[in-house]
Every structure is written in C-alpha cells, then in structure tokens.
Structure 1
Amino acid sequence: MNKIILGLMAIIIFTFVSCNKADDDTPKTFTLKSADVSTVFTQEQFGEGQNGCTGGNKSPQLTWENAPSGTKSFAITMIDINAFGPGIPFDHWLVINIPTTSNSLVKDAGNISGANLPLGASHTPNGAYPNYVTNPDFVKAYAGVCPNVGNTNQYEITVYALNVATLNVTANATSTDVKAAIKSTTISSAKMSVTASR
C-alpha cells in the first residue's frame, strides 16, 4: 500500500513540475506602454509654435518588455497615420540604435539635444525633412502632435526589435529611408495607438 501511495505522489509531483515548466516555456508577448499617455495625448506632447499649437513638445516616456530572442537593438517610430488624409502619414519621431541594455525612453528623450537618449541611440530626421525643412540635422528630434482645429488624429508609437546592433542608414536619410531599413531588419514589434484632438 505504501508503495502505491508513494507512486501516486511521484506522479502528482511530476505532473505539477511538468505543468509549471510548460507555463514557463510559453512565449511572452512583446509589449509597449507609457507612463505619460494611454489612449490620448496630453498638452505636454503637443507641438510648440507650429500650426497654432502651444504644447510642451516633450516626447512621452516609453517602456517595452519581453523582447524576442535574437534582438540586437531597438528602434522607435511615432507616426500620424492619416496626417494629410487617409493613408498619408507624417513621421513625428524616429529613434534608432537603442541598445538592448535599455528597455525604456525617459520623458523628453526626443529633445533635439539628444542628451536624454540611451548611450549609442540617435535620432534620425522626422517627416519635416526634406519637404518642409532642408537641413536634416534641424529635424532630428521629436515633433509634437498638432492636428488641425476640429480634427482628431490617430498616432501609432511602435518599438521594433531588430536583428542588427546598428542600423545602416546615411546621415541625410529621410524618414522613409529609415523606416524601410527598420522594416528589413525587424524581428518583432509592439505598438500603442494614441489620439490627439483640437
């Protein structure tokens, strides 16, 4: 009888351990969140001195978790997906070469100084170059949201896990060029959608 009881206990313990191991092996979802915004931008993230907006022009804090295996760097984009009409976007912010030792960006990481970015990371020109500003260095920063009066625009903030440590783009690459380079090296991505209204 004792042998039967011991055998049953061994089966129960083995089953419990196996179930826990299976749970541990379940892939976790790559996620992106912000301490500053959830679904709607605040005045702090609005642009300053453009199109009548008087915001703080500060990029939101971002945190991402559960990056996939093989990730060698991260990139961030923030895009107004219908800025000039359906399917006509404007790129507000691009950051590349974020090291895997970082899983967040602080508030105002998009400052033109670049001082708030993780070591090794850099801005690339936003959508103002070259159509609105000819100097790519001038627009290597966060461009605050600023929809037209009466409009509610939708923005996508996306973090990309890349299979390269350094993205191969030129100094005067446009945001379209950078997005193409990001797409070609992406392992996985996570995004959040945020709106802004005036």
Structure 2
Amino acid sequence: MKLDVRGVEEGQPIPDKFAFGVFSEQDHMSFGPNRNPEMVWDDVPEGTKSFVVMMFDPDVPSVADDVNQEGKTVSKELPRVDFFHWLLVDIPANISRVPEGEDSDGVIPKGKDYGPAALGVRGVNNYTQFLAGNPDMAGTYAGYDGPCPPWNDEIMHHYHFEVHALDVESLDLQGEFDGNDVREAMAGHVLASARVTGIYTLNPNLRS
C-alpha cells in the first residue's frame, strides 16, 4: 500500500495547522487549528473489506510529573509510551481518502463524540486521560486531536500516520474503545499497512 498524508513529509516537521498546541513565546503553548490532514491511499490488496486509520506518538513520557512544569525538564532518559491521537475504524473498502478537516477542525473543549462518524467509527484518543485533571478541558476525546508534546521535553516527538487494510468489514468495537483495543482487534486481520511519520516539538531549544 501507499499512503500520502497531504502536507506532512516523511521525517519533516508537521505544519501548525494540524496541531492541537502551537508554540507561544508568552505561554509556551496556545491552541492550534487542530485540523486532521488529508490522507489518501492506494495499491490496496485484493480482499480488503475495511480500513483503519490511526495516528500515534511513541515518544510520550511514561511519567508525567515534570511535564510542562516551569523550571523542570522531561529527561530524554525517561521511558516512553504510545499516545494515540486518532482512531478511525470500519472505514468502508470503497473509501480511499479522508479529507482535510473531516474529522477535526479546531480544538473542542471536553472532546468530540466517539462512535459512528462520516467515514467510519471513532475511537477514543489519549487526550481523554491527559486532560482529565483540567476542569475546563476534561472529557472524552474522540477522533483526531493533533500534536501537543510537552514544551519542556528534551526529545523531538514522532507522529506515525498509518492506514491498515483489513480482511473484515468491521472490528465490532463499540463504546469508548482505545488504541490498544484497536490493535488487539486488528491482530490477524491486516492485509497491508502504510505509514508516514512527521515530527513536532514545542521546545524552543529543539525548534531551531
């Protein structure tokens, strides 16, 4: 399979328009346009019955104690975990494109709805956990919410945009399913996959 993430080049910085958080000299971070990028795929294998689209960041700190804290840094030595930013499953086999802004256009405090959407079924992303302690933002976040890595992190973050062709029409996932649920349900059903990886940081020392 081939995947084109329009506006995101392999190994290059992700444009601000696709970010949940953008750099701010005054406040470290301000809300970004948070639009999902257009994704187009082809060379689909025979027998494909549905697609899964996901985006995740494998560079998220496993311990959040120092995240976005003045006078502290998130050490590059800290173990990292996956943070899912986008989960869209049960995309019909006749679909080969997610338009820009289709699944997100702006930051929505307290999140977007999970479940059936225009092009598939939305899963719950990890902003649900990350913002749980913020009374103005806490909620269930589904669909696409873009990059917003800690502004005091010593490492550049990588964002993997993926599409997977499956041999089943549905993963039969319901409710507030997450990235691990999707990976478990996909196991043994993936006919082909494609990935584009972009990078992003809010750390001024890394931005230059």
**Unmatched runs of 5 consecutive residues or more in structure 1:** 1-29
**CA contact under 8 A between 1:105 and 1:118: conserved in structure 2?**
no
Structure 1 counterpart of 2:96: 103
Q: Structure 1 pair 32/107, CA: closer, same or farther in 2 (3 Å)?
A: same
Output the TM-score relative to the length of structure 1. Answer: 0.73
Letter in 1 for 2:101: D
**CA contact under 8 A between 1:82 and 1:154: conserved in structure 2?**
yes
- Within a 5 Å distance, the mapping from 1:168-183 to structure 2 comes to 168-183=172-187
Q: Post-superposition shift, 1:148? A: 1.9
1:42 counterpart = 2:46? no
1:88 counterpart = 2:78? no
After TM superposition, the runs of 4+ consecutive aligned structure 1 residues lying more than 6 A away are: none
Between Structure 1 and Structure 2, the one with more helix by share is 1
**Secondary structure at 1:139's aligned position in 2?**
coil
Letter in 2 for 1:142: Y
Q: Structure 1 pair 43/53, CA: closer, same or farther in 2 (3 Å)?
A: same
Q: Structure 1 pair 152/53, CA: closer, same or farther in 2 (3 Å)?
A: farther
Distance 1:140 1:163 in 2: 24
Q: How large is the Cα RMSD of the aligned pairs?
A: 2.8
Q: Post-superposition shift, 1:132? A: 4.5
Which protein, 1 or 2, shows the higher relative CO under an 8 Å CA cutoff with sep ≥ 6?
2
Distance 2:127 2:118 in 1: 25
Structure 1 stretch displaced more, 175-184 or 159-168: 175-184
1:31 counterpart = 2:33? no
Structure 2 counterpart of 1:13: none
Q: Structure 1 pair 139/184, CA: closer, same or farther in 2 (3 Å)?
A: farther
Between Structure 1 and Structure 2, the one with more strand by share is 2
**Unmatched runs of 5 consecutive residues or more in structure 2:** 23-27, 62-77, 105-110, 134-138, 203-208
Identity value in percent? 23
1:124 counterpart = 2:123? yes
**CA contact under 8 A between 2:56 and 2:82: conserved in structure 1?**
yes
Q: Which has the larger radius of gyration?
A: 1
Letter in 1 for 2:100: K
The CA deviation string for residues 4-53 of structure 1, in whole angstroms up to 9 with x for no partner, is: xxxxxxxxxxxxxxxxxxxxxxxxxx11112221132111011059x823
User: 29, 38, 59: which is aligned to 1:61?
Assistant: 38
Distance 2:79 2:39 in 1: 27
Output the TM-score relative to the length of structure 2. Answer: 0.70
Q: Structure 1 pair 86/68, CA: closer, same or farther in 2 (3 Å)?
A: farther
Q: Structure 1 pair 180/170, CA: closer, same or farther in 2 (3 Å)?
A: same
Count of residues in Structure 1 that have an aligned counterpart in Structure 2: 166
Structure 1 counterpart of 2:65: none
Q: Post-superposition shift, 1:120? A: 5.0
